[in-house]
């Protein structure tokens, strides 16, 4: 077992990293004086991983959309009860989520930490489903998909992704579609389970009031040895340009809601991805955060309100910068943002505010250290991004220069390669039902 | 982890509460102004925190104020408004990292308190009202937000249900008011109401941090000593009266999924027992509602219960296909009747108890949770710590849960009805 203590001078914080003989990466961050403990057991397997192969297969295979999420639902069930009933005996609050690129099972608790951890390690390693239990889940997941059909903020985002991407599966709803989940059966679930829920592809991350030795003792007892399947994932080739420049849908909303996505080349993994993400975030802050004159101008003109925000959205094979909010005139907002980007390319970004924005970001990293949940999630996310640590990230941010950020503006923001997604209110006639 | 609680009077109807928790790397300050909910002032009150948190006399534009916050290591400063029973609460809150994490040991907490009290006490005024242009933008934003309430169907259904549950009571009033009340607000009327609140409202200031700071206390006490007070007394709520017959409301909307909110009223005194009843009934993923209505019968995508303690109301909130609305209602009542009849196991009771304890023990880890906990305590004239309430919870018996469930009387069934399914 390889074990090391990872320290950071700047913050005085430390955690323990263990590479377990089973292949699992384990992170333990002890928080003195904290009441709760937060534990995450996750696999690098999300909705986008529909095409893959292992060393036992000659060719890549493609599985239906929504299968990672379906599997998450099904793993939450044992042979005789669901996982919530197990946690009921420890009092832990438990949950699970599937994102584009990972599936995580988690609990948060104040008492009975090790009993809860035992439950977590056991059920995630112990799949049980039959054709009958798989069929039953179709109703529940179908309801979940339908619920998101009414969610304007969800729709505006996925409509934008469908405009940006020709082929990349990030454009498909995480839960899949009613049609795609109809194709899921027990065999497919087992196939995906044994491919992606391999400890070599997984991370255990714990923050809170825990004893490291007890955690490792439990890991030794409960983790199952498995052969490394040498998993490879792949995506259909994706053109550089957006698929559609504008996507409009009507829903019962009071004011138009918009997402504007600038498509860029995806970053590689690890530190390169982190820097691309962080530097592009700094560009967004400089252009459109509430410290910028441009934001104030849009706000004063009544074109945006305080719901306006921007973010970088990136992962394996996709990268875009998104501006979103509510506006009476989303097309004008898009034009103004494009013009502002061109102006900043020509005249340069605001160097003075760059230092302020860096300082504020450092503050936000320290804030996160207050939260068991943010720490455990951070350790897991950075590991899955490609073997970087939360402290590497803090140090990398300190080293980012104004010139780095100006350069990102040039490479990540092509004002011709943009998708505008709008949810418009129903016409008054259609609104009457 | 024990939290040290200290409450000091620093003015007429103004208290400063300090909550010390060694695990905090942040310092957080919450200034709460509590005042009765009323149609006359609700929208003025909703707009005031938006204006105060965006600029001040010293930082007259949001860009200047935000740059200052960024220089304080990304400190936050927020204005919001919420409801507790029949009261409206205006909140100005701020938070920053502990001074010792700064690069040069800067005293950013003290600077942030000065900035926050400056926003509250010396706003950006012109003539005898708030600065007109900023005010108009905030007013438009409030109107837009009221319009946008329909976008979130679950919250919207809940709001509409409340209008029936609390008919003719202050608690029926939406926290932002409505289009009419918001439309009438002017820069002058909002400023007048602001001045009146500073004079009359119950003011509860809460500081959450790693250690007690006399500096911070003195800075706040000094700032508030400048206010002329004419205290109107503590805010409070009345229990919601029973209806003679169940109120049913159904509204059609162009949505895929229907939402149903059911409300029950009680005059049961033991709120801790009611909380345990609620946990057995529908507040956890091992509760009767979740296990039966959602999991076993697949009638709802979500189905959970909650409490409005100040008003004596238990509600059930669910998302359901239109064709299943009646079945879901019957099954929810079935589950309540099971508890009334004592048809629940000791295991169900102990599981529910553990789940609440787990939640309450962790409250001290989060600044806004612990500040919210004590604000609710103070509002109800108590000062119980989470540990104190856990002590009470341990004493709740099976019979208490049965009595709590039997005290519930059906009050309202509200359905936001979606389209019939296509398939």
Confidence of residue A5 (pLDDT cuts 50, 70, 90): very high
Confidence of residue A359 (pLDDT cuts 50, 70, 90): very high
Question: Does residue A10 fall inside a structural domain?
Answer: yes
Average pLDDT over residues B407-417: 97
Question: For residue B1, what pLDDT is reported?
Answer: 55
Residues A154 and A292 grouped into a single domain: no
Which residues of chain B neighbour A298 with C-beta distances below 8 Å?
none
Paired sense of beta strands B202-209 and B14-20, if any = parallel
Residues A160 and A199 grouped into a single domain: yes
Residues B203 and B253 grouped into a single domain: no
Q: Is B212 on the interface with A (CB under 8 A)?
A: no
Average pLDDT over residues A229-249: 95
- On the question of pLDDT at B422 being above 60, the answer is no
- On the question of pLDDT at A187 being above 80, the answer is yes
Average pLDDT over residues A151-171: 96
Does this model's pTM top 0.90? My answer is: yes
Residues B162 and B289 grouped into a single domain: no
Residue in B with minimal Cα distance to A362: B73
Which residues of chain B neighbour A140 with C-beta distances below 8 Å?
298, 301
Residues B221 and B95 grouped into a single domain: yes
Residues B255 and B202 grouped into a single domain: no
Count A/B contacts: CB-CB distance under 8 Å: 175
Total domains in the fold of chain B: 2
Selecting from A34, A109, A153 the residue whose C-beta is nearest the C-beta of B23 gives A34
Mutation target for B interface from A9, A31, A83, A88: give the one with most B CBs within 10 A.
A88
Q: What is the domain extent for residue A110?
A: 2-233
A72 belongs to the catalytic site: yes
For residue range A293-317, what is the model confidence (pLDDT) as tens digits? 999 999 999 999 989 999 999 999 9
> Could A361 and B74 be called an inter-chain contact, meaning their C-beta atoms sit closer than 8 Å?
yes
Selecting from B97, B286, B298 the residue whose C-beta is nearest the C-beta of A139 gives B298
Region of residue B196 (left: phi > 0; alpha: psi -120 to 50; beta: else)? alpha
Domain final position from B225, B255, B274: B225
E strands present in A272-417: 309-315, 318-326
- On the question of pLDDT at A430 being above 50, the answer is no
Collapsing DSSP to helix, strand or coil, B45 comes out as helix
| Intra-chain end-to-end CA distance of chain B, in Å | 54
Residue in B with minimal Cα distance to A364: B74
Residues B208 and B310 grouped into a single domain: no
User: How far are the Cα atoms of B35, B96, B153, B413 from residue B251, in angstroms, in the given order?
Assistant: 32, 45, 12, 11
Total domains in the fold of chain A: 2
Question: For residue A211, what pLDDT is reported?
Answer: 95
For residue range A43-78, what is the model confidence (pLDDT) as tens digits? 999 999 999 999 988 899 999 999 999 999 999 887
Residues A225 and A305 grouped into a single domain: no
B273: CATH = 3.30.830.10
Residues B219 and B299 grouped into a single domain: no
> Could A33 and B74 be called an inter-chain contact, meaning their C-beta atoms sit closer than 8 Å?
no
Residues B190 and B278 grouped into a single domain: no
Residue in B with minimal Cα distance to A139: B298
Question: For residue B324, what pLDDT is reported?
Answer: 92
Question: For residue B254, what pLDDT is reported?
Answer: 86
Question: Does residue B307 fall inside a structural domain?
Answer: yes
Query: Chain A window 92-111: which residues touch B at a Cβ cutoff of 8 Å?
Result: 92-94, 108-111
Residues A270 and A388 grouped into a single domain: yes
> Could A140 and B140 be called an inter-chain contact, meaning their C-beta atoms sit closer than 8 Å?
no
B1 or A144, which is more confident?
A: A144
Residues A162 and A268 grouped into a single domain: no
Residues A255 and A171 grouped into a single domain: no
CB A60 within 8 A of CB A234: yes
> Could B357 and A91 be called an inter-chain contact, meaning their C-beta atoms sit closer than 8 Å?
yes
Which residues of chain B neighbour A326 with C-beta distances below 8 Å?
144, 148
| Contacts (Cβ under 8 Å, ≥6 apart) of B218 | none
CB A235 within 8 A of CB A315: no
- On the question of pLDDT at B42 being above 50, the answer is yes
Confidence of residue B79 (pLDDT cuts 50, 70, 90): very high
pLDDT averaged over chain A? Answer: 93
Domain final position from A233, A268, A285: A233
> Could A35 and B285 be called an inter-chain contact, meaning their C-beta atoms sit closer than 8 Å?
no
Cα(A11)–Cα(A378) distance, rounded to whole angstroms? 15
ipTM, two decimals, is 0.88
Residues B53 and B180 grouped into a single domain: yes
Cα(B386)–Cα(B359) distance, rounded to whole angstroms? 9
In Å, how far is A170's CA from the nearest CA of chain B? 24
Residues A281 and A404 grouped into a single domain: yes
Question: Does residue B233 fall inside a structural domain?
Answer: no
Selecting from B290, B362, B419 the residue whose C-beta is nearest the C-beta of A110 gives B362
Residues A200 and A284 grouped into a single domain: no
Question: For residue A9, what pLDDT is reported?
Answer: 87
Residues A296 and A408 grouped into a single domain: yes
Residues A112 and A167 grouped into a single domain: yes
A196: CATH = 3.30.830.10
Question: Does residue B232 fall inside a structural domain?
Answer: no
Q: What is the domain extent for residue B339?
A: 247-417
The secondary structure of chain A in percent helix, strand, coil, rounded to multiples of 5, reads 45, 20, 35
Residues A250 and A193 grouped into a single domain: no
């Amino acid at each position: 077992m390889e074990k090391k203590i990872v320290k950071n001078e700047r913050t005085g914080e430390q955690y323990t990293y263990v590479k377990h003989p089973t292949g699992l990466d384990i992170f333990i961050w002890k928080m003195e004086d904290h009441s709760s403990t937060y534990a995450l057991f996750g696999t690098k397997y999300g909705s986008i991983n529909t095409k893959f192969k292992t060393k036992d297969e000659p060719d890549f295979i493609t599985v239906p959309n929504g299968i990672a999420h379906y599997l998450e639902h099904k793993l939450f069930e044992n042979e005789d009860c669901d996982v919530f009933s197990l946690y009921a005996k420890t009092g832990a609050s438990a949950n699970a989520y599937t994102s584009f690129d990972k599936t995580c099972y988690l609990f948060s608790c104040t008492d009975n930490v090790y009993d809860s951890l035992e439950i977590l390690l056991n059920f995630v390693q112990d799949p049980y489903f039959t054709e009958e239990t798989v069929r039953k889940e179709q109703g529940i997941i179908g309801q979940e998909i339908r619920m998101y059909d009414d969610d304007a903020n969800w729709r505006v985002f996925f409509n934008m992704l469908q405009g940006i991407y020709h082929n990349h599966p990030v454009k498909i709803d995480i839960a899949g579609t009613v049609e795609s989940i109809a194709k899921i059966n027990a065999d497919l679930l087992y196939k995906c389970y044994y491919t992606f829920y391999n400890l070599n592809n997984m991370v255990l991350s714990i923050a809170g009031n825990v004893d490291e030795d007890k955690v490792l003792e439990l890991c030794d007892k409960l983790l199952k040895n498995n052969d490394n399947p040498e998993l490879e994932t792949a995506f259909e080739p994706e053109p550089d340009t957006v698929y559609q420049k504008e996507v409009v849908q009507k829903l019962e909303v009071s004011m138009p809601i918009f997402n504007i996505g600038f498509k860029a080349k995806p970053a590689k993994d690890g530190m390169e991805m982190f820097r691309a993400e962080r530097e592009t975030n700094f560009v967004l802050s400089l252009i459109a955060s509430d410290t910028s004159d441009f934001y104030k101008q849009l706000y004063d003109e009544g074109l945006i309100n305080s719901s306006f925000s921007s973010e970088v959205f990136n992962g394996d094979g996709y990268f875009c910068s998104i501006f979103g909010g509510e506006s009476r005139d989303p097309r004008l907002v898009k034009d103004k943002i494009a013009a502002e980007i061109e102006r900043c390319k020509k005249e340069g970004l605001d160097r003075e505010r760059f230092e302020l924005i860096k300082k504020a970001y450092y503050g936000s990293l320290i804030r996160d250290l207050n939260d068991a949940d943010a720490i455990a999630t951070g350790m897991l996310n950075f590991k899955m991004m490609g073997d970087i640590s939360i402290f590497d990230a803090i140090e990398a941010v300190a080293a980012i220069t104004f010139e780095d950020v100006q350069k990102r503006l040039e490479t990540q923001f092509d004002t011709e390669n943009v998708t505008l997604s709008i949810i418009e209110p129903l016409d008054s006639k259609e609104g009457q039902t | 982890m024990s939290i040290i609680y200290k409450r000091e009077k620093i003015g007429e109807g103004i208290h400063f509460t300090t909550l010390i928790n060694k695990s905090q790397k942040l310092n957080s300050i919450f200034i709460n102004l509590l005042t009765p909910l009323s149609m006359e002032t609700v929208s003025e009150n909703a707009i005031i925190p938006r204006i105060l948190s965006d600029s001040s006399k010293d930082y007259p534009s949001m860009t200047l104020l935000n740059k200052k916050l960024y220089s304080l290591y990304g400190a936050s400063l927020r204005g919001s408004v919420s409801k507790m029973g029949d009261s409206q609460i205006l909140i100005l809150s701020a938070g920053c990292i502990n001074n010792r994490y700064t690069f040069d040991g800067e005293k950013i907490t003290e600077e942030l308190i000065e900035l926050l009290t400056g926003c509250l006490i010396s706003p950006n005024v012109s003539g005898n009202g708030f600065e007109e242009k900023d005010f108009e933008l905030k007013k438009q934003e409030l109107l837009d937000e009221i319009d946008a309430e329909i976008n979130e169907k679950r919250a919207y259904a809940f709001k509409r249900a409340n209008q029936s549950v609390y008919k003719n009571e202050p608690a029926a009033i939406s926290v932002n008011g409505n289009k009419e009340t918001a439309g009438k607000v002017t820069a002058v009327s909002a400023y007048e109401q602001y001045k009146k609140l500073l004079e009359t409202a119950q003011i509860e200031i809460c500081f959450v941090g790693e250690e007690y700071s006399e500096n911070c206390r003195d800075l706040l006490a000094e700032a508030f000593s400048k206010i002329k007070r004419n205290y109107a007394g503590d805010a409070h709520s009345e229990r919601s009266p029973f209806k003679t017959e169940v109120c049913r409301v159904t509204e059609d909307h162009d949505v895929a999924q229907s939402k149903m909110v059911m409300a029950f009223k009680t005059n049961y005194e033991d709120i801790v027992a009611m909380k345990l009843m609620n946990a057995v009934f529908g507040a956890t993923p091992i509760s009767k509602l979740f296990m039966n209505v959602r999991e076993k019968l697949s009638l709802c995508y979500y189905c959970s219960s909650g409490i409005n303690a100040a008003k004596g109301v238990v509600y059930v909130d669910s998302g359901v296909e239109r064709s299943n609305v009646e079945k879901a209602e019957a099954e929810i009542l079935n589950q309540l009747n099971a508890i009334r009849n004592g048809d629940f196991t000791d295991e169900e009771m102990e599981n529910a108890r553990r789940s609440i304890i787990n939640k309450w023990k962790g409250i001290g880890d989060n600044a806004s949770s612990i500040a919210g906990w004590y604000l609710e305590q103070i509002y109800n004239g108590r000062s119980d710590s989470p540990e104190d309430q856990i002590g009470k919870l341990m004493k709740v018996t099976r019979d208490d849960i049965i009595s709590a469930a039997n005290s519930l009387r059906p009050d309202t069934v509200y359905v936001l009805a979606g389209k019939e399914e296509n398939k």
